[in-house]
Amino acid sequence: GAGVSQSPRYKVAKRGQDVALRCDPISGHVSLFWYQQALGQGPEFLTYFQNEAQLDKSGLPSDRFFAERPEGSVSTLKIQRTQQEDSAVYLCASSRTSGLIYNEQFFGPGTRLTVL
Amino acid sequence: AQRVTQPEKLLSVFKGAPVELKCNYSYSGSPELFWYVQYSRQRLQLLLRHISRESIKGFTADLNKGETSFHLKKPFAQEEDSAMYYCALKVRTSGSRLTFGEGTQLTVNP
């Protein structure tokens, strides 16, 4: 079946612009994660949803970052007033369930954001 | 807070040679450890997890709680093993979020 998809795959923004990154998880997956991966670094956790509820947003670096998943499926990560330090690959992952028992997280291809 | 360290950013071996990718973690409790792999132009995918105690593509990893390590090993490297490898950790108190190391780029030369 189809895996996690993300759009756009590449985004170039001028500093100060707002951007919106979309994630389509695997159908039926309850949990959805966003990670930020800077050049030469491993992915870093941003936020996590269980269905439409955002249960953890402790990794969001500033209040310019906002994520939503209103119907418990597609999620959007929005970055307001982008800065050069926001340049990174943004990864989305989904898994069947969540909680104490780990279920494999399936990753999307990522969106590469470049802020000029 | 938990942390994962992969001391080698780059690792180069010849085909048929043994390979070991190092991973150390800092966490006082009982974490779950994973290895993720990203082949060229492909997405990040799970390679193996310590709970499964299985060998995937000839790779194994043993959790050593005394040394807080989870090194990835393969006795005979193949060219198709060339990829970026990430060690990751999950702790119960942080839900299902993963904490990743910085990754090791493995190159297997012919």
More confident residue, B93 or A107: A107
| Averaged pLDDT for residues A6-26 | 97
What are phi and psi for residue A100, nearest 5 degrees? -75, -30
Which residues from chain A sit within 8 angstroms of residue B88, using beta carbons?
A: 42
Which pLDDT tens digit goes with each residue over B38-97?
Answer: 999 999 999 999 887 788 899 999 899 889 999 999 999 999 999 999 999 988 776 778
Which pLDDT tens digit goes with each residue over A44-82?
Answer: 999 999 999 999 999 999 999 999 999 999 999 999 999
**pLDDT(A100) > 90:** no
**pLDDT(B35) > 90:** yes
Predicted pLDDT at B97: 87
- Alpha carbon distance A100, A98 (integer Å): 7
Minimal Cα–Cα distance from B97 to chain A, Å? 7
Residue B32 at interface with chain A, using a CB cutoff of 8 Å = yes
Distances (CA, A) of B17 to A71, B37, B54, B86: 50, 19, 21, 21
Which residues from chain B sit within 8 angstroms of residue A43, using beta carbons?
A: 44, 86, 98, 100
